[in-house]
Amino acid sequence: MEVVGKDIQNFQKTVRDHSDFDFSDYSHTSLQRRLNRIMLELELDMDQLIQQMKNDREFMDRIMHKITVHTTELFRDPDIWKSIKNELLPSISHQETIRIWHPGCSTGQEVYSMLMVLDGVGLLEKSEVYGSDLHEEIMETARQGRYKYRFNQSYLENFDRVMLNGEGTISRNQKKQWKKYFHIDETRDTIQMKDYLRLKPVYKKLDLVKDPNLFLVKFDLIICRNVIIYFNTELQNRVFDLFHKNLNEQGKLILGVHESIMGAYSKKFIRKDPFYYKAPV
């Protein structure tokens, strides 16, 4: 049975009443797609799903994980990382401290990509990097910095494109550079980030829907990719307001390749692909 409007409203009310989450302002299209997938996977109809969510907290937590998105990759969209490395970071390299926030950091591959780029341009020591996510246990994976090698193997080709200005081939030189940042154990199917990277970021559980900036600093760069696409316009604007208030003057925001700032908040940012610059007041 396909999810319809009243099902989504019932789901949203159940989540509000029986958990710490609130999906009231999530895109109905996104929720509909994910709920249809969950019902098919669990072989439950909507009434059964709702009833189990009300009666079983562990089941509720499982559904929350399935609804929220945890897809991330090392050096995803390498051309954007090249722009960060070659254009953005040199423009702020004179600063005494560089502060970067990754809201919706998930399991942390984007955070480690940033740390490697910062190191590659000699700015790691003077940088402060922050990550936040809805789920504490998801961030624990980021803190551990341990990933499946085979799952991430193809993404490591992007390391060459970004860090070595190559064409995405895996070479002896690239493997030598890998050892500076992480250890690969093919037998155990693991990539383990080195401790000097792993211990650098500050992580906090943070809900963009309702929380303020819990880090209590302003940022030079906020990278929030493939998160707001799941929000409706009202919630997107609340998040853009949060970002705008917590960017330094001339601070930059990066969204996903299929995301953009529309409406009133488009006047508060100046778009120069792939960055949004905080507009002067």
At 88 the pLDDT is 96
Catalogue the long-range contacts made by 48-53 (C-beta closer than 8 Å, 24 or more residues apart): 49/11, 50/10, 50/11, 50/14, 53/14, 53/15, 53/18
Q: What is the pTM of this model?
A: 0.82
- pLDDT tens column, 77-130: 999 999 999 999 999 999 999 999 999 999 999 999 999 999 999 999 999 999
**pLDDT the model gives residue 169:** 66
Lowest mean pLDDT, pick from 104-108, 169-173, 197-201: 169-173
| Tens-place pLDDT, residues 14-42 | 988 888 778 887 778 878 888 888 888 88
Largest CA distance in the chain: 58
pLDDT band at 135; cut points 50, 70, 90: confident
∠ Cα 74 65 2 (to 5°): 115
The CATH architecture annotation of domain 78-278 reads 3-Layer(aba) Sandwich (3.40)
pLDDT at residue number 152? 74
More confident residue, 177 or 170: 177
Cα of first residue to Cα of last residue in the chain, in angstroms, is 51
> Does residue 151 or residue 49 have the better pLDDT?
49
Q: Please report, for the chain, the start and end positions of each structural domain, with discontinuous segments joined by +.
A: 5-67, 78-278
At residue 168, the pLDDT reads 64
The answer to whether residues 72 and 86 touch, using CB atoms and an 8 Å cutoff, is no
Q: How confident is the model at residue 269 (pLDDT cuts 50, 70, 90)?
A: very high
Asked whether the beta carbons of 194 and 181 are under 8 A apart, the reply is: yes
CB-CB contact of 281 with 271 (8 Å): no
Query: With pLDDT > 90 as the criterion, what percentage of the chain qualifies?
Result: 53
CA distances from 81 to 110, 123, 141 (A): 10, 15, 22
Residue from 46, 81, 84 nearest 63 by CA:
46
| Closest to 22 measured CA to CA, from 192, 231, 269, 268 | 231
Find the DSSP H helices in 98-232.
109-120, 136-144, 149-152, 157-163, 172-181, 195-198
Supply the pLDDT for residue 70: 60
